Structure 1
Amino acid sequence: MADDVYDLRGLNCPLPVLKAKKRLAAMAPGSRLWLETTDPLAIIDIPAFCAEDGHRLMATEEQPGCHRFLIERG
């Protein structure tokens, strides 16, 4: 089963974290979600959010024009 992708490009802090938090809350524990964001602060905010909320940051990728984060819901 492919991991879901949540496109948060074009949104600035704090919206990517707030929207990710809401989306992950609706998912089953152990589910995975890719976040795509253009917010330059996401490289700090997303790992901090995962640590605070008990999610696992599985991967971080820099792609042309955006960053991607694979999160496993805790």
Structure 2
Amino acid sequence: MTDYEISETLDVKGQSCPMPVVKTKQSIDSLDEGAVLEVLSTDSGSMSDLGGWADTTDGVELLDQEEGDGLYKHYVRRTA
């Protein structure tokens, strides 16, 4: 269970690289600073792809990632 409030959920299930990252960037850019985006994906590569993107992108922070039953959940906060 998360200890932060989810501002918006992005469903990219069924989409493969690079779309989860592309859609995440588009969604996070539309959110206010401090907002948390939950990303739901079925692409196992999204675990490393979104982590790498967050590490190299100013203004975002990857808070957590969860994996279970073929679903990958990512929690990204807009920091700037």
User: What's the TM-score, normalizing by structure 1?
Assistant: 0.90
**1:15 — aligned with what?**
19
**2:68 — aligned with what?**
63
**Which structure is higher in helix share?**
1
Report the 3-state secondary structure (helix = DSSP H, G, I; strand = E; otherwise coil) of the residue aligned with 2:24.
helix
- Structure 1 stretches (4+) deviating beyond 4 angstroms? none
| Aligned with residue 57 of structure 2, among 53, 56, 71 | 53
Structure 1 unmatched ranges of 5 or more: none
Amino acid paired to 1:33: L
Structure 2 unmatched ranges of 5 or more: none
User: What's the TM-score, normalizing by structure 2?
Assistant: 0.84
Report the 3-state secondary structure (helix = DSSP H, G, I; strand = E; otherwise coil) of the residue aligned with 2:33.
coil
| Aligned with residue 72 of structure 1, among 66, 73, 77 | 77
